[in-house]
Chain A
Amino acid sequence: MDRMPKWADIVLIPLISLILAAFLSALVMLAIGEDPIKALGIMIQGSVGSSYAWGYTLYYATNFIFTGLAVAVAFHARMFNIGGEGQAALGGVGVALVCLYVPWSHWSVALIGATVIAALFGAAWAAIPAFLQAKRGSHIVITTIMFNFIAAALINYLLVKTLKPIGAMEPATAKFPEPTHLPNMHDILGIFGIPFSRGAPVNIALLLALLACFLVWVLIWRTRLGYQLRAFGHSESAARYAGISPTKIIMVSMLISGALAGLMAINNVMGEAERLVLNAVEGAGFIGIAVALMGRNHPFGVLLAALLFGVLYQGGAELALATSIPREMIVVIQALVILFTGALDNMVRMPLESLFSVLRRKPEGAK
């Protein structure tokens, strides 16, 4: 009865959307007088051409896995969490606090402590919008946007007034102490004798991200909570009938979502910067929306989409260095991906559906 085979739905449509986005991006490059083929070459070389390049690509991908999963989990409960940016930023505050003020003995304990705190801070920042949605019906999209701005103002205040070391000019915390520094991919692969660039920021948080992918998959498709969460996402009235508490599902899904976004701080704040700076999230919270849409809200899809965006992000940075194409080109591509995979989905889907129904009718007619 389905109008299209499943593979077309989960592979073909995102692929076509991506090609459309790439095509329009190429047009933009042509319009500003750059050669898109050459740009593509630079991007690929700069993102996957060396272990140093891979190191950056995977570092960015780690960020996007966390924020992408955050959006995806909430989406399953039909909550559109645009607040990943603020939740990830608050996760950073949590990480900074535990790294600066708790005397850790070894990075492994520090990692556990920071993971808990990052998740808690991220979840806490999602809690108020979630509560207002569950109890007062305040639209989660608007409240999470507002909370992004409030988070920005709050962190601005903290970094300018309270967390900045005395006498420092830059609004940032002090460097975290040595025992909190996480091993990077160079250290980890070194154990197995595999050489990897020392300078690249990819670190152990990548493994945490992969673990998060697996756990989210288990949560969504194998647990009672996931069953109830998806049921609520499909039909709130049916959930009420079945005795699934909307309040509980909204709160739990948003808390998990916020926690996942908060966990991003392990990668960018603890793993890479080793201090908290202004605007540390750099839009990764928003890229999570594109990643989740592109990955069809499936953890494996999110992983692939996050890798793709890692390539784009790192490649885009190289592009900005090598040509006069500014880094904002990535934002354009990201916007186009969101537009085609999220909002203009039907534009791609409708012609494909009629194509498949024609293809299907033919073999029947031949019988």
Chain B
Amino acid sequence: MDFFALFDLAVLDGTVRLATPLLLACLAGLFSERAGIFDIGLEGKMLAAAFLSGAIAATTGNAWLGLLAGIAASLVLSVIHGLASITFRGNQLISGVAINFFAAGLTVVVAQSWFQQGGRTPSLSEGGRFNPITWIGADGNGFYSEVVSGHSILVYGALLCVPLTWWVLYRTRYGLRLRAVGENPASVDTAGVSVIGLRYSAVVICGVLCGIAGAYLATALQAGFVKDMTAGRGYIALAALIFAKWRPWYALGATTLFGYLQALSLRPDILERAIGVKVQVQLLDALPYILTVVILAGFVGKAIPPRAGGEPYVKER
């Protein structure tokens, strides 16, 4: 048994890289759900963004253009979700389900017709990817060089989003209104602020963050888009959001944990060395989901969602 093997630098490095898309998607969900719009379509939005960013980065050779394209793809789906759940007061869960399928199908259909490579985009060249940034003095081994340094700009950007989200939510007028509209939209409406406007703005922010998360998958974590490359990350982010009780700093904690589990499942040998027992990979794969169920069951503190979540706003006296 070697407990410290759990802190293997390669695993920690993997944690940072794998937690980043989860963190971005989780914060995306946070904005949407804090405004009272449930979003189980995070997965679909990330997937659409991953595809379009991969496709544009491959054709232009420019990662930044890829990023913008990814955000645009995600935004289109966000607006559809907004139309369904805000304007037409439809069922937000069903809309999310539809968006996930839509992205899962369309990305492959378009990828096949565009690149004829069996539903994937060509591998990205050097300029088409976000490359690791090596920090000053990070040329040796050790925590600083291997874990802190050596990630793409998107990773550091995602981390910055955590304090930024906190600040927006709790220190600005917009954040106050956003939280209010998710708790009691009538309070916002009678105060003369547009419920629809606020909710659309939240859905748009959600789209932008999901877009970055998807673009990260195709242009930073990997070099191109492959079919179904989100692999349930949108759902894990959703789980992390519940785990985090819809709070930004907790979201960082939850996504880091889930990212760590993912990193560990890539290295079963390390886990075996650490705890002395062989753990099935499938168990590690399922662990985030099992943890979420345990959390939802209320065995680890109660998660209370925003009170108006999932309910379309209808004016009443």
Partner-B contacts on A (CB < 8 A) = 28, 31-33, 80, 82, 128-129, 132, 136-139, 141-143, 145-147, 149-150, 153-154, 156-157, 160-161, 286, 289, 293, 324-326, 328-336, 338-339, 342-347, 350
Contact at A342–B296, with CB atoms within 8 Å?
no
Q: In chain B, what residue has the closest Cβ to A289?
A: B97
Given known A342-B90, A342-B98, A343-B98, contact A146–B113 (CB-CB < 8 A): no
B261 to chain A, nearest CB (A): 12
For the complex, count residues of B whose C-beta is within 8 A of A.
Answer: 48
Chain A interface mostly helix, strand, loop or mixed? helix
B95 to chain A, nearest CB (A): 3
Question: Which chain B residues border A342 with CB–CB below 8 Å?
Answer: 90-91, 94-95, 97-98
The listed residue (A32, A128, A142, A344) touching B238 by CB distance below 8 A is A142
Residue B85 at the chain A interface, CB threshold 8 Å? yes
The listed residue (A82, A326, A350) touching B97 by CB distance below 8 A is A82
B314 to chain A, nearest CB (A): 11
Given known A132-B293, A328-B105, contact A335–B93 (CB-CB < 8 A): no
- CB neighbors of A among B87-126 (8 A): 88-95, 97-102, 104-106, 108-110, 112-114, 116, 119
Question: Which chain A residues border B127 with CB–CB below 8 Å?
Answer: none
Contact at B90–A149, with CB atoms within 8 Å?
no
Which of B191-199, B218-226, B244-252, B281-289 makes up part of the contact surface? B281-289
Question: Which chain B residues border A286 with CB–CB below 8 Å?
Answer: 97, 101
B158 to chain A, nearest CB (A): 24
In the complex, A142→B235 CA distance in Å? 9
Most chain A CB within 10 A, of B98, B283, B289, B292, is at B98
Contact at A138–B238, with CB atoms within 8 Å?
no
Q: Would you give 8 A-B contacts (Cβ < 8 Å), ordered by A? A: A32-B112, A132-B297, A157-B282, A157-B283, A160-B282, A331-B108, A335-B102, A339-B95
Given known A136-B297, A332-B105, A345-B88, contact A142–B110 (CB-CB < 8 A): no
Q: In chain B, what residue has the closest Cβ to A156?
A: B282
Question: Which chain A residues border B112 with CB–CB below 8 Å?
Answer: 32, 324, 326, 328
Mask: chain B, 290-302; 1 = CB below 8 Å from A; 0 = not = 1011001110000
Question: Which chain A residues border B95 with CB–CB below 8 Å?
Answer: 339, 342-344
Chain B interface mostly helix, strand, loop or mixed? helix
Given known A150-B289, A324-B113, contact A138–B101 (CB-CB < 8 A): no
Given known A33-B113, A157-B282, A332-B109, contact A344–B104 (CB-CB < 8 A): no
Q: In chain A, what residue has the closest Cβ to B309?
A: A139
Question: Which chain B residues border A330 with CB–CB below 8 Å?
Answer: 105
Question: Which chain B residues border A157 with CB–CB below 8 Å?
Answer: 280, 282-283
Contact at A332–B106, with CB atoms within 8 Å?
yes
Question: Which chain A residues border B114 with CB–CB below 8 Å?
Answer: 32
Q: In chain A, what residue has the closest Cβ to B112?
A: A326
Q: In chain A, what residue has the closest Cβ to B304?
A: A137
Question: Which chain A residues border B83 with CB–CB below 8 Å?
Answer: 344, 347
Given known A157-B282, A343-B84, contact A80–B93 (CB-CB < 8 A): yes
Contact at B109–A335, with CB atoms within 8 Å?
no
In the complex, A339→B100 CA distance in Å? 10
Given known A326-B108, A329-B105, A343-B85, contact A335–B98 (CB-CB < 8 A): yes
Residue B232 at the chain A interface, CB threshold 8 Å? yes
B227 to chain A, nearest CB (A): 8
Contact at A141–B93, with CB atoms within 8 Å?
yes
A32-B112, A154-B282, A326-B108 are known contacts; what are 12 more A-B pairs with Cβ within 8 Å? Answer: A28-B106, A128-B293, A132-B297, A160-B282, A324-B113, A326-B112, A332-B109, A335-B101, A342-B90, A342-B97, A343-B98, A346-B89
